[in-house]
Amino acid sequence: GEEQLAQPIDYAHCHIDPAPFQLVERTTLIKVHSIFSMLGLQHAYVTAIGRLIGVVALKELRKAIEKMNSGGFSKPAGAPGSELPNGTAGGAEAPSETQSESEDAAESSSKATRQKKSKKSENKGSPV
């Protein structure tokens, strides 16, 4: 019992995603599909205020979209309270981001903009 708990764990055979992708719980089904498509994701973690509340896999996402397209959901996609396959809400409203998540997104966006501007200014001096 306790001897087994005291043994070190070998993580060499475990797949650990070095950069997991997370979604906030009220992200719409269409937005989730777009994110999966653009980034080539197989799964994403659903969080609420930074805590894990679920996982969405590409396979589940495809099934949910097929079900939605065939009229299998009891509520329309835009209705509050409609459910994603993992039990999180999938209404049409914008994701309910926490302040820190919004700040992180804004910071990432401004870094990308600064990088683009610096690359443009580097290219201006060289003849084409």
Q: Is position 107 within any domain?
A: no
Could you tell me the mean pLDDT of each successive run of 10 residues in the chain, 128 residues long? 90 86 92 95 94 95 91 62 48 37 44 46 49
Give the model's pLDDT for residue 125. 52
Q: For residue 95, give its domain range.
A: 20-101
The number of domains in the chain is 1
The alpha carbon of 26 is separated from its chain's Cα centroid by a whole number of angstroms, namely 11
Give the model's pLDDT for residue 18. 84
Overall pTM surpassing 0.85 (yes/no)? no
Give the model's pLDDT for residue 91. 38
Report the CATH number that the domain containing residue 91 is assigned in CATH. 3.10.580.10
Q: Is position 87 within any domain?
A: yes
Task: Give the integer Cα–Cα distance in Å for 113 and 61.
Answer: 31
Give the model's pLDDT for residue 41. 94
Q: Is position 123 within any domain?
A: no
Give the model's pLDDT for residue 86. 52
Q: Is position 42 within any domain?
A: yes
